[in-house]
């Protein structure tokens, strides 16, 4: 019987209160597997977990190291009601909800790096990937991919990982946070923007990408605000690279 860290899918359904959990030893990508399930009618709350991925990926097709039992590799399906603005900021909302949860297993504060990463200090701990499939003008489903390092990946020595942690215990805290973030509506509120500012890795730092300038927080639509010689420019997409560190994510 296939299990995830010793848990069967049926056991996780009962523990997490979800309609369906697929616990896999290995798959190409939990994101792709979840999309395939959604296309044939999988309900909101369907969760795909794998102990390893052969083709894990992040934003813009970047690979994600997914060694066996080296992290929590997962995708959660939700079927939103059609709030396109909320979908634009969902990755940020997820980061805001996960950061204080994951601090239970880290030695330092969990910080946020626009648009979708969680860091401890100057090292990447976790990444979020949100992909939406549309039916006409309305979202049909959203797949929320999440990778959390339980061990520092061999090919990413500048990353970081949770301290000693029971994966099922972490999962039990993470899943409700993801579902709550997916239920939120509208643009980022003032309190959310303030929370992001308090955890913002980039605040006040000089950027090389997505455009040259100084990071100046977020807009309510989740855009990165960059102060340049011509004023503050909102940036909707791209990867953030610090001019001083030369690292991107």
Q: What is the mean pLDDT of residues 73-90?
A: 93
Asked whether 85 and 141 are in contact (CB, 8 A), the reply is: no
- pLDDT higher than 50, residue 249: no
- What pLDDT is recorded for position 247? 42
The rounded Cα 199 to chain-centroid distance in angstroms is: 15
Tell me how far apart the alpha carbons of residues 113 and 38 are, in angstroms, rounded to a whole number.
Answer: 29
Which is more confidently placed, 55 or 88?
88
- In the chain, % helix, strand, coil (3-state, to 5) comes to 30, 35, 40
Q: Pinpoint the alpha helices (H) of 23-89.
A: 30-39, 84-88
pTM (two decimals): 0.93
What is the average pLDDT value for the chain, to the nearest integer? 93
Can you name the CATH fold of 202-242?
SH3 type barrels. (2.30.30)
Reply yes or no on whether the pLDDT at 151 is more than 50. yes
Per-residue model confidence (pLDDT) at position 157? 86
Task: Sketch the domain layout of the chain as residue ranges.
Answer: 9-191, 202-242
86 pLDDT above the threshold of 60: yes
Question: In this structure, what token pair is assigned to residue 199?
Answer: 């955890």
> Has residue 123 got a pLDDT over 50?
yes
**Of 28-37, 63-72, 106-115, 184-193, where does mean pLDDT reach its minimum?**
63-72
Residue 21: strand, helix, or coil: strand
CATH code 3.30.200.20 for 9-191: no
Mean pLDDT for the stretch of residues 162-168: 97
DSSP string, 62-81: -B----TTSEEEEEEEE---
């Amino acid at each position: 019987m296939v299990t995830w860290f010793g848990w069967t899918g049926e056991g996780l359904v009962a523990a997490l209160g979800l309609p369906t959990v697929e616990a896999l030893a290995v798959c190409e990508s939990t994101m792709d597997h979840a999309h395939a399930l959604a296309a044939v009618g999988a309900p909101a709350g369907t969760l795909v977990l794998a102990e390893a991925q052969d083709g894990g990926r992040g934003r813009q097709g970047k690979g994600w190291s997914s060694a066996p039992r080296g992290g929590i590799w997962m995708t959660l399906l939700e079927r939103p009601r059609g709030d396109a603005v909320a979908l634009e900021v969902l990755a940020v909302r997820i980061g805001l909800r996960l950061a204080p949860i994951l601090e239970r297993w880290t030695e330092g504060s969990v910080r946020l790096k626009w648009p979708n990463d969680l860091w401890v200090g100057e090292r990447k701990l976790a990444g979020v990937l949100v992909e939406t499939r549309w039916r006409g003008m309305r979202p049909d489903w959203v797949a929320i991919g999440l990778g959390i390092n339980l061990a520092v990946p061999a090919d990413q020595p500048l990353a970081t990982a949770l301290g000693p942690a029971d994966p099922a215990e972490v999962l039990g805290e993470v899943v409700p946070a993801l579902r709550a973030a997916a239920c939120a509506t509208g643009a980022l509120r003032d309190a959310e923007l303030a929370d992001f500012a308090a955890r913002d890795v980039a605040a006040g730092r000089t950027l090389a990408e997505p455009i040259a300038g100084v990071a100046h927080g977020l807009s309510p639509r989740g855009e990165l605000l960059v102060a340049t010689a011509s004023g503050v420019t909102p940036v909707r997409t791209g990867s953030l690279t610090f001019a001083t560190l030369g690292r991107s994510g």
